[in-house]
Structure formats: C-alpha cells, structure tokens
Structure 1
Amino acid sequence: MPRPYASGIVPANADTVWEIVRDFNGMPAWHPGIASSELESGASAATVGAVRLLTLPDGGTVRERLVSLDDADRRMIYDILDSPFAVRSYRSTVRVAPVTATGEAFVEWWCHYDAEAADEAQLDKTFTRAIYATGITGLTDHLAG
C-alpha cells in the first residue's frame, strides 16, 4: 500500500500551528488548493465522525470524515469518502510536533491508500506535492500574514 509523505518546518510554535490544523472545517484559510469547506449535518469541526465537503478551485469536491482528533499528540486522522481521485480507500494523518531547538513546528502529512498499480505514481505525486507540501507551505504563508 503506497504511503505518500511530506514534512516541513513552520516558523511558529507547535501549539499555534496545531490550533489552525485541528479545525476540520478551516482548510480554506490556509490551504491554497481548497476554495471552501462546509460541515455536513451541523457537526462540530472537533467532533470525531464529522464530515466535511471541500470544494477545489476547479469546482471539484472531496468529502472527508474525521476519524481521530488527538490534542495531546497534535494528530488528526481523516478518511476520504468521495473524491475525484482514483482511490478505493484513503486514510490520511496530519501531525504537528515542536522543534525544541528553535521553537518552531514540525508538520508531517501522509496517507495510506489503495488504488490500481498504474495510478499509484501519479497519485503519490498529487498527494505529496499538490496537497501535503502545498498545505505545509500554506500554513507558513498564512502565519506570516
């Protein structure tokens, strides 16, 4: 099973970065690849089981369910329910950790998914670069104001 991965240093403390990342409905504020987000069924952004509908800049949509929100470990896990990606299953994790030497935040983002072998290289590139690395850079830009 493929495991695309990206990481980066965000020049803010881990608690500040986590407060932004943990908002399951807040991605449009910091991820340039997300035009809008709407929680379904009036759920709270901090409620495990909440489903969000993300709209992409091209009008495509992605539905995701929050599987786990762990404030102590600064870790969020979510599944894709529906998307334009050719995956049969997809579970992603975002984790924020302190860089103790500098006071910055180390952000990791990865997933496990199942897809046709012929699609894996393109999916790995899309998830790693267009979603995760772009999102981590977006966090830095957002915090820079």
Structure 2
Amino acid sequence: MSAYASTVVDAPADEVWGYLRDFGNLAEWLPGIDLCVIEEGGDSRPGTVRRLEGLGGVYRERLLTLDDDSRSATYEILECPLPVRDYRAVYRVSPVTDSGRAFVEWSATFAADDVAKLDKVFVRGVFEPGLAALHGRFRPGA
C-alpha cells in the first residue's frame, strides 16, 4: 500500500529543499514531534538514524538516500509504535516552472494488517499536517 500527499509552497524549490534536506530538523516543522535527535551518523548522510518522540511514541528512522540533484530523500522506519512493516518513504521538492514556487510531495509504501487505517494515519496525521506547516514556515514575511 502507499500513502501520498502533496502541496505547493510559496518559495523557490532550492530554498525549500535546503531546509528539508536536514534529516535532523523534523521537530522544527512537523506538528506533534516533540524531539528529533540524531543517534547515528550525521550531516544528513545515508545511514543516518534519527530518534523521534511524539505522535504517540518513539520512532527510529534511517535515511536511505539523499539526492540534491533531484531534491529527494528516502527513509525507512526501524522502530515505531504503529503496526506497520516495511515502511519506506520519500519526499521530493520540484520547481513549479511558471510561478517559481516549490511542489512538495511526500509518499510512503508499507505493509500492515489494516492498510486503510494506517494510510489515513500517515496521510492525515503526518503528511498533510507537515506539508501545511511548511506553508507557514515559507510564507512571505515569516
């Protein structure tokens, strides 16, 4: 199964990507995340592991790829309180060529016993609030 959300942010793609490429800053912009610390690795290199607290528990995630050319990153969940398996997510930032704004996509594939329920959890509880928070962060004059 896959979960997906997208938005257009009123800022240049390179500026939005410059912020999102930091694998250790999730608590700064994702509602519900109280703490984000790098446990292994660093500098947003593949293999870096972060620990998150919030959204009902503790999560550990590993950065798998970070590609500045395509403005995309892929990560996996190592541990979490949700009944999900084989979770891999990607977020990507692309330029909207006619406006100079950024198109941001966030998607995940995963396995679960109740796929429909977890799809809603990820889309409505994580992706959509996170993308909405980016609007506020990059709002002109913010």
TM-score class normalised by the smaller sequence: over 0.9
Q: Which amino acid aligns with 2:13?
A: A
Q: Flag as ranges the 4+ runs of structure 1 deviating above 4 A.
A: none
Equivalent residue, structure 1, for 2:103? 106
What displacement does 1:33 show? 2.2
What displacement does 1:74 show? 0.3
Contact in 2 for aligned 1:31/1:138 (Cα 8 Å): yes
What displacement does 1:45 show? 3.4
Structure 1 residues not aligned, in runs of 5+: none
CA spacing shift, 1:79–1:57, aligned 2, 3 Å: closer
Equivalent residue, structure 1, for 2:10? 11
What displacement does 1:142 show? 1.6
- Measure the CA separation in 2 of the matches of 1:33 and 1:137: 13
Aligned counterparts, 1:1-145, within 5 A: 2-41=1-40, 43-56=41-54, 58=56, 60-116=57-113, 119-144=114-139, 145=142
What displacement does 1:140 show? 1.0
Residue 139 of structure 1: SS of its match in structure 2? helix
CA spacing shift, 1:57–1:6, aligned 2, 3 Å: closer
- Measure the CA separation in 2 of the matches of 1:97 and 1:134: 19
Q: Percent identity?
A: 42
Q: Which amino acid aligns with 2:33?
A: I
Write out per-residue CA displacement over residues 46-71 of structure 1, whole angstroms, 9 at most, x where no aligned residue: 2110000011155x111000000000
- Measure the CA separation in 1 of the matches of 2:136 and 2:127: 14
Residue 110 of structure 1: SS of its match in structure 2? strand
Q: Which amino acid aligns with 1:132?
A: F
Write out per-residue CA displacement over residues 49-97 of structure 1, whole angstroms, 9 at most, x where no aligned residue: 0000011155x11100000000000000000000011112100000000
TM-score normalised to structure 2 length:
0.94
Q: Which amino acid aligns with 1:48?
A: P
What displacement does 1:31 show? 1.1
TM-score normalised to structure 1 length:
0.92
- Measure the CA separation in 2 of the matches of 1:105 and 1:21: 12
